[in-house]
Amino acid sequence: MKKQAFNPYLPSWEYIPDGEPYVFGDRVYVYGSHDFYNGYVFCMGDYVCWSAPVDDLGNWRYEGVIYPKTSDPLNRDGKMCLYAPDVTVGPDGRYYLYYVLDHVSIVSVAVCDTPAGKYEFYGYVHYADGTRLGEKTGDQPQFDPGVLTEGNKTYLYTGFCGRGDKSRTGAMATVLGPDMLTIEEAPVFVAPGCEYSEGTGFEGHEFFEAPSIRKVGDTYYFVYSSIVMHELCYAVSKEPTKGFTYGGVIVSNCDLHIDTYKPADMPMAYGANNHGSIVQIGEDWYIFYHRHTNNTWYSRQGCAEKIEILPDGRIPQVEITSCGLNGGPLEGKGEYPAYLACNLFCDTPSVYVGDSRFPKVMQDGRDGDEEVGYIANITDSATAGFKYFDCHGVKRISIQVRGYADGVFEVKTSWDGEVLARLKVQYANVWEEYSAPIEIPDGKQAIYITYRGNGNASLKSFALIDCNY
């Protein structure tokens, strides 16, 4: 039986941001960096891989460690982190993994005969004279490689452009030869950073980091994280190394700009940096991105949403949801863990994560412990939103709560809607279940749960109960 697919799509104790999705054979594989739960910096772990059948996107399989960080000759002591990678199939049919270590400005490459086997170090991207890319006079530092192979050429996209740094121009494209290492065409700039964007059409959404490249028909889609960090944008061109024009925002991990269910300038989650790309799975297209947990930048989880590529090539921005890969709403009955909240906010609005007053997704235990996540630090006005459910005959709702709190949880079907149920909770240091009658209209519905009262609570799960459940 196929499983429902959720956001995040991997288990709640897994932290794989910067996801690059690819379909190889009858499975979709996601390659990303590897954060730790409660990590203190980005990308502390080895590269691991997860995959799922293309026709069962809720059934993810752990493929194991595909590349330890000590495999690179520059990092035998493991003191450097593996930043966001990308994978491409070379002209020889093998799989090539491109990455950058956190303290160097060159691009490393590993290779494997299968999509998720044991990758072995292969070499460094270099010029014909052997000088490594990033170390030649005039080179800008390399960062966040994204790759696309066509025939005997591989297009390598890199770059990082922070605000106020005029030494960084924009995103670069470099053409590699059939050995996947040697540069055939030196870097050229394909998208501007914020210091060089005037008159380009990229203003306000300039390139920051996370370059990724896909080809759809005869059009190249350059996906990247903009200078505001929380959004993934795209640019398009008919050629891989020039002519890119700004297209728009695909997704924001705080849902900024979306006005379908709230004001466009109202953040509905605590965002920060973003990284991901688009992929076609079956007949549908998706954007993979990541969210932030634990009220830090350093414990990120992969999410995905279905997108539409219009006949004219545009990609409208999509809402963040709890059901991205599911192909539609979740079943409007049964128990759902609270970590599936796609909206999380309080009366103090913030685009960015990190304030100690904010509710947060976290887990018990330490990194690697298979402990189901939950929402903690719930104080007065904290709201968790879950979208969407196919509801029919829902007559009751229950929640599991713990913590030293004395108040009421309100349940609504929109963030500013009518309160449909109130559940009184009291002080408890163990998970306690509370239940109340509710009338949720039939059809596609969101569930918003807001705390009003004193103290600090945690929410483990909620259950929608129909007359037959």
Strands (E), 59-152: 61-67, 86-89, 95-99, 108-112, 120-124, 146-150
Q: Which residue has the tokens 């990678």?
A: 85
- The three-state secondary structure class of 49 is strand
Contacts of 402 (CB under 8 A, 6+ apart): 428, 429, 430, 431, 432, 457, 458, 460
Q: How far apart are CA 414 and CA 403, in angstroms?
A: 26
Just list the catalytic residues.
Answer: 18, 209
Do residues 53 and 59 touch, judged by C-beta distance below 8 A? yes
Between strands 146-150 and 153-158, the pairing is antiparallel
Residue 430 burial (C-beta neighbours within 10 Å; 0-12, 13-18, 19+): exposed
Residues 6 or more apart from 198 whose CB is under 8 A from it?
none
Phi-psi region of 431 (alpha: psi -120 to 50; beta: other; left: phi over 0): beta
The sheet with strand 277-281 has its strands ordered as: 277-281, 284-292, 300-307
State the CB neighbour count (10 A cutoff) for residue 332. 20
Q: Which amino acid is at 456?
A: N
How far apart are alpha carbons 6 and 320 in whole angstroms? Answer: 11
Assigned token pair, 403: 């913590």
Phi-psi region of 129 (alpha: psi -120 to 50; beta: other; left: phi over 0): alpha
Cα Rg, the chain, nearest whole Å: 23
Look at residues 104, 173, 95, 165 and name the one whose alpha carbon lies nearest to residue 132. Answer: 104
Among the listed residues 355, 217, 214, 209, the one whose alpha carbon sits nearest the alpha carbon of residue 290:
209
* Lookup: tokens for 451: 């705390």
Token output for 253: 């991990």
Dist. CA 435–CA 146, nearest whole Å: 49
Closest alpha carbon to 292 in 198, 209, 199, 355: 355
Q: How crowded is residue 65: how many other Cβ atoms within 10 Å of its Cβ? A: 15
3 state SS of 209:
strand
